[in-house]
Amino acid sequence: MQGLERRVIAEKRHMWKRYEVTLEFEGKFAASLPKTREEIKAMLENRQATDAALRKRIESGEVAVPIDELTEKVALAVGVDEEEVPQFGYATFCRDENGLYYEGRCIRGHLKDCATQIQGLVDVKALHSKVANKVYVETNKIYLGKQEPDGTVTRYVQAMTRKGPRSTIKFIDYVEQPTLTFALRVLNDGVITESILESLFEYGATHGMGQERSQDFGRYRFHLSTTGGYTFGKGEEK
């Protein structure tokens, strides 16, 4: 029995494979979070309404964090100033005492988008769901190496509404050529291999990440390296 237990423990120690990823942006990288409570709340409500996985968890009994509570959390992260006039149509970055940062969950969303696009090019069925269930970003806050944005892009947008054509102005913060470094944890079952990860990032490097991709924002070069197995339950590298 002791031999069997040792084999089980050994297998658990190699459940996860860990990678370090570096994205070196070739030009501007644009922000995507709104800067007013009203727009933040609308974004979260839309996300909740369209997130099938979240709806399924709620239906199964999971208690969702109230929208108002999430709104306050995001408002704090993007630095909504109570004394300033609300800046509608403005996109900015999260920030704290260490500077501007990008959220790890956004990297995970980027990888799932890339998986959808390259589905037919790799030999993995249902690649999107495989990435969603086997690839996790360990780094919650990915710092951009900046205390403030390098600039703001102004865009004039026209949209058709029920009342006819409407013009609006968008303001989008950006940083120049940031480098993002973060850790990935990948289920070590042989499905999402290093080659598959490289294919995801290879597509993403050209597709871009963040807002203003149609203006060639968000394109990057990537470096992917293995940092070892992941000890189950302790988070220690092997």
Domain limits for position 50: 36-86
Q: Is residue 66 part of a domain?
A: yes
> According to the model, what pLDDT value does residue 238 have?
43
Across the range 30-47, mean pLDDT stands at 70
In this structure, of 66-70, 96-100, 231-235, the range with the lowest mean pLDDT score is 231-235
The answer to whether residue 233 scores a pLDDT higher than 50 is: no
Same-domain pairing of 63 and 95: no
168: nearest Cα among 160, 158, 176: 158
Same-domain pairing of 141 and 233: yes
Q: Is residue 107 part of a domain?
A: yes
Token code pair at residue 27: 């030009």
Say how many domains are in the chain.
2
How many angstroms separate the CA atoms of 133 and 125, rounded? 13
How many angstroms separate the CA atoms of 225 and 125, rounded? 25
**pLDDT confidence tier of residue 91, bands split at 50, 70 and 90:** confident
What is the residue type of 158?
Answer: Q
Same-domain pairing of 51 and 152: no
Predicted TM-score (pTM) of the model is: 0.74
Token code pair at residue 139: 């780094």
Q: How far is CA 19 from the centre of its chain?
A: 16
Percentage helix, strand, coil for the chain under 3-state DSSP, each rounded to 5? 35, 35, 30
Same-domain pairing of 44 and 136: no
31: nearest Cα among 183, 209, 221: 209
How many angstroms separate the CA atoms of 91 and 79, rounded? 12
Same-domain pairing of 119 and 75: no
Q: Is residue 165 part of a domain?
A: yes
**pLDDT confidence tier of residue 235, bands split at 50, 70 and 90:** very low
Same-domain pairing of 143 and 224: yes
Instruction: Report whether 176 contacts 210 (CB < 8 A).
Output: no
Percent of the chain with pLDDT over 70: 65
Q: Is residue 210 part of a domain?
A: yes
How many angstroms separate the CA atoms of 73 and 77, rounded? 6
Backbone φ and ψ for 192, nearest 5 degrees, come out as -95, 90
CATH code of residue 181: 3.30.70
Same-domain pairing of 98 and 216: yes
pLDDT, one tens digit per residue, over 122-181 is 889 999 999 999 999 999 999 999 999 999 988 877 766 677 776 777 788 999 999 999
Same-domain pairing of 71 and 186: no
Q: Is residue 8 part of a domain?
A: no
Residues 6+ apart with CB under 8 A from 170: 89, 90, 91, 154, 155, 156, 157
Most distant pair of Cα atoms in the chain: their distance: 75
Same-domain pairing of 143 and 176: yes
